Each structure stands twice: as C-alpha cells, then as structure tokens.
Structure 1
Amino acid sequence: MKITEDMIIGDLVRNYPEAVSVLMAHGMGCVGCPSSQAESIKDACHVHGMDINSLLEALNKAAK
C-alpha cells in the first residue's frame, strides 16, 4: 500500500512503525501529539511548513 498525503498520521504510525523515525528526521517531532492522531500528512506538512513530496518519498521508501 502506498502512503499518501491524505493518510492520517495516527494510522500511519500504527500501520508503519518505521515511519516514526522518518517523520522525526524530517522535523515532525509531534508524532505522539494528540492532534496528530486525526491530522493528515498533508495538513501536518502545511502546519510545519514542510515539503510534502520529499516526506512522502522518504515514507514510501522506508515502508518497503
């Protein structure tokens, strides 16, 4: 399954535990934050001013 921008971070972390280190490496230290449980990757990137394409590339690479 491909990781997409619409995935909820809480679901991402539950289904792909390896995603945690990728998120942290990209500056998203709020992985355990309660709001991230219902926030999409797209929304989180927007809030944190992150490049969504590079994050998705790294997440999908790690999930293989």
Structure 2
Amino acid sequence: MFVGFPPGRPPEIAVSVLLQNGRIWHRRAAEVARDVLRAYFHERGRPGISDPVEAVVLKE
C-alpha cells in the first residue's frame, strides 16, 4: 500500500495505491503511484516527478 502526494501548496493531487500481487508478478505500490503521478503531470504539460538518481547526477 502507498499513499502520497507531490510537493505543492496546496497539493494538486493525492494518490493511493493498494495492490495484491501474485507470487510471480511483483510490482510495488510506490512504483504504480510514481507512474500515475508522471502521467498526470505529463498530460498537463509539466515534467512531473523525476528519478532521484537522475536528480543527484545532474547536481554533480
């Protein structure tokens, strides 16, 4: 289970994901939430959220 929202004042959107995965197929709820938020912001012409690893590399 994952519940969260992107930074903003006030938050523009909140997301809640609850998954029941089988033994073979595993996906984390946070990954699904990330994909939903990226799609949401992409539709609005904004970059959305970035991968934290990419953000660290860009700062070097």
Same-fold call, TM cutoff 0.5: no
Question: When you count helix as a share of all residues, which structure comes out higher?
Answer: 1
Question: When you count strand as a share of all residues, which structure comes out higher?
Answer: 2
Q: TM-score, normalised by structure 1?
A: 0.30
Q: TM-score, normalised by structure 2?
A: 0.32
Bigger relative CO (Cα 8 Å, ≥ 6 apart): 1
